[in-house]
Amino acid sequence: MSDYILETDGLTKTFGNLVANDGISLGVERGEIHGIIGPNGSGKSTFFNTVTGFYDADGGRVFFDGTEVTNMGPDEIARQGLGRTFQIASPFADLTVRENLLSVYTGGLGSGLRIPTEKRARAQEILEQLEIDHIAEHEASDISGGQQQLLELGRILMLDPACVMLDEPTAGVNPALQERILEHLRELNATEGRTFVIIEHDMSVISGLTDRVSVLNQGQIVMQGDFETVTSDERVREAYLGERTDHHAGLEDTLEKNTRQGPRASAGGEASAGTGTGGATTSGGVSAAAALSQAVPEASPAENRLVAENLVTGYGNHTVIEDVSVRSHDGVTCIFGPNGSGKSTLLKALVGAVPVWSGSIHYGETDITGSNAAENVDHGMVMLPQDGGIFGDMTVRENLLLGGYRVDDREVRRERLESVLEAFPALEDKLGATGNSLSGGQQMMLSFGRAMMTGSDLYLLDEPSSGLAPSLIDDVFDMAETLVEQGAQVILIEQNVREALRIANYVYILAQGTLQFEGPARELLDEDELVDLYLGLE
């Protein structure tokens, strides 16, 4: 029988109707480095938070070193010998690096306020071990993001844990310092026997560091094994790229359907229509896509309306996007990449929601590098955030009118509102209802309708199909195509790569904040190559 130091048995965590962890049974062997990977929303962080006591489990059990720790507090679990770090390091900014280490209560509150000699010696040992003794007297706010990650690891080591759960320990770290972090983890594992469980989106880290890998998707483990085995498994490919609608079809068959001749047709030869609660066809039988066309301004074709060159940006001391250049192309421009690759950050930088550290962005002839999102609406570009971004306490009517608040012509606003309601008749019945009372599909329609009210000719869509029923997903892509037919350009971030490739004209692939590929969608005919590019393995 395997010697598991950490084990979960049917671990379940729910948030309302959302099952984030669905009966996860996982064993981590003593002394191994165990990787956990999976697409955005697969339940990785929830698993970490539930195992380490930040969330209470709704079912199942957690065992550490033979003792059940289910629903213990984080401090109790840490004192059992199970430590964890967080993706964004949060040291005490006004304390020095050394003081941050000494602030860890290794003996508990009962040990008194005087710092014992042994604790000072342990802190010095960790400073030297992690090669950060030269910055020991620097305030934590003055050191780099990578050094903060080393400090985060050092604070956990002050507790002398037998097992450490690491949440993206190399996120936003420059390559040289990243390798130092990995070397320290290997050394701690080899010389001190410490067990590590690591979430990472940098597949080069996972492939070069871990003994075994567990793949999560939709809250369940879909595959376990060594890195090469799991990344070549079809279930893992589907988790990252989206399920095949035809399991006998390859990427070439998927791209063959990308004809750019209007909304995709159903088996009966007519434009597809949703059948869910959103009702994406009008009562008169007019498709949502046809009604939508009335709200889109006629625009002359432009090869590259948006041009971004050599962008660098991130959060705090963490660089997320490194020297990335992208352009909007006629049709649908897709940006693919695994969770944590920087896709959403890039989209927010393009629209002005995240400041650009260096590089430039032009919309037509206008330099919009320093423009904010509201100013960019005036330029003709609008973003639909992943969560829809609707105002839950405002009514549907108020949300829609807010989209057209910069339009001075009342008649234009009225015509746009009529077109939105013709596209989404379910919203007409909900005009007086608050946004947070709508279903997920209706909230997506409200978000899309509000964007339509701006009259923009460039739409930036951040995973608009996330969490929607299959019938509604078809309508989302149909609407994107119709926007293009009316002269708009679309930049689309989408986790379901196979589905998005049906409408893609041009593709960028991001991994670890850098471009791995750019070119026409038809160049992505080799699925093995696509998987390697998507996961950043080339």
Q: What is the tens place of the pLDDT at every residue in 467-495? A: 666 667 777 788 788 778 777 899 999 87
Would you list the DSSP string of 11-80? EEEEETTEEEEEEEEEEEETT-EEEEE--TTSSHHHHHHHHTTSS--SEEEEEETTEE-TT--HHHHHHH
Phi, psi of 248 (to 5 degrees): -95, -5
Output 266 or 487, whichever has higher pLDDT: 487
Q: Which of 5-19, 342-356, 403-417 bottoms out in mean pLDDT, i.e. has the lowest?
A: 403-417
pLDDT of residue 250: 53
Q: Domain containing 436: what range?
A: 288-534
Output 38 or 441, whichever has higher pLDDT: 38
Output 249 or 463, whichever has higher pLDDT: 463
DSSP state of 536: T
Residue 47 clears pLDDT 60, i.e. is over it: yes
- Average pLDDT for residues 192-221, to the nearest whole number? 90
Whole-angstrom distance, CA of residue 160 vs CA of residue 329: 53
The count of domains in the chain is: 2
Domain boundary among 208, 241, 274: 241
Specify whether 87 is located in the same domain as 201: yes
Give the 3-state secondary structure of residue 518.
Answer: strand
Residue 164 clears pLDDT 50, i.e. is over it: yes
Whole-angstrom distance, CA of residue 92 vs CA of residue 101: 10
* Reported confidence tier of residue 168, pLDDT bands at 50, 70, 90: confident
DSSP state of 434: B
* Reported confidence tier of residue 59, pLDDT bands at 50, 70, 90: very high
Half-sphere exposure of 180 (CA within 13 A, CB side): 16
Closest CA to 537 of 130, 237, 152, 100: 237
Taking the CB of residue 500, how many other CB atoms lie within 10 A of it? 27
**Residue 279 included in any domain:** no
**Residue 254 included in any domain:** no
Specify whether 231 is located in the same domain as 156: yes
Residue 429 clears pLDDT 90, i.e. is over it: no
Phi, psi of 537 (to 5 degrees): -95, -5
pLDDT of residue 124: 94
pLDDT of residue 455: 85
pLDDT of residue 289: 46
**Residue 508 included in any domain:** yes
Specify whether 406 is located in the same domain as 516: yes
Output 496 or 272, whichever has higher pLDDT: 496
Residue 272 clears pLDDT 50, i.e. is over it: no
Specify whether 201 is located in the same domain as 315: no
Domain boundary among 205, 223, 241: 241
Output 248 or 433, whichever has higher pLDDT: 433
- Average pLDDT for residues 154-176, to the nearest whole number? 86
pLDDT of residue 73: 93
Output 462 or 388, whichever has higher pLDDT: 462
Phi, psi of 155 (to 5 degrees): -65, -40
- Residues with Cβ within 8 Å of 259's Cβ and at least 6 positions away in sequence, in order, are none
For the purposes of burial, counting CB atoms within 10 Å of the CB of 283, is it exposed (0-12), middle (13-18) or buried (19 or more)? exposed
Specify whether 195 is located in the same domain as 80: yes
Specify whether 182 is located in the same domain as 324: no
Specify whether 402 is located in the same domain as 457: yes
Task: Tell me the pLDDT tens digit for each residue of 26-41.
Answer: 999 999 999 999 887 7
Residue 64 clears pLDDT 80, i.e. is over it: yes
Output 411 or 441, whichever has higher pLDDT: 411
Element (H, E) at 473: helix 470-485
Domain boundary among 241, 270, 296: 241
Specify whether 193 is located in the same domain as 337: no
**Residue 248 included in any domain:** no
Residue 17 clears pLDDT 90, i.e. is over it: no
Instruction: Give the pair of three-digit tokens for residue 509.
Output: 């692939």
Specify whether 233 is located in the same domain as 380: no
Specify whether 233 is located in the same domain as 295: no
Specify whether 227 is located in the same domain as 299: no
**Residue 104 included in any domain:** yes
* Reported confidence tier of residue 285, pLDDT bands at 50, 70, 90: very low
Whole-angstrom distance, CA of residue 280 vs CA of residue 259: 23
- Are the CB atoms for 462 and 347 separated by under 8 Å? yes
- Average pLDDT for residues 270-292, to the nearest whole number? 39
* Reported confidence tier of residue 242, pLDDT bands at 50, 70, 90: low
Dihedral (Cα; 368, 373, 379, 385), 10-degree rounding: 120
| pTM of the predicted structure, to 2 decimals | 0.64
Whole-angstrom distance, CA of residue 456 vs CA of residue 483: 10
Whichever domain contains 10, its CATH number is 3.40.50.300
Specify whether 223 is located in the same domain as 293: no
* Reported confidence tier of residue 146, pLDDT bands at 50, 70, 90: confident
- Average pLDDT for residues 360-365, to the nearest whole number? 93
* Reported confidence tier of residue 361, pLDDT bands at 50, 70, 90: very high
Task: Tell me the pLDDT tens digit for each residue of 65-101.
Answer: 999 999 999 999 998 999 998 877 888 989 999 999 9
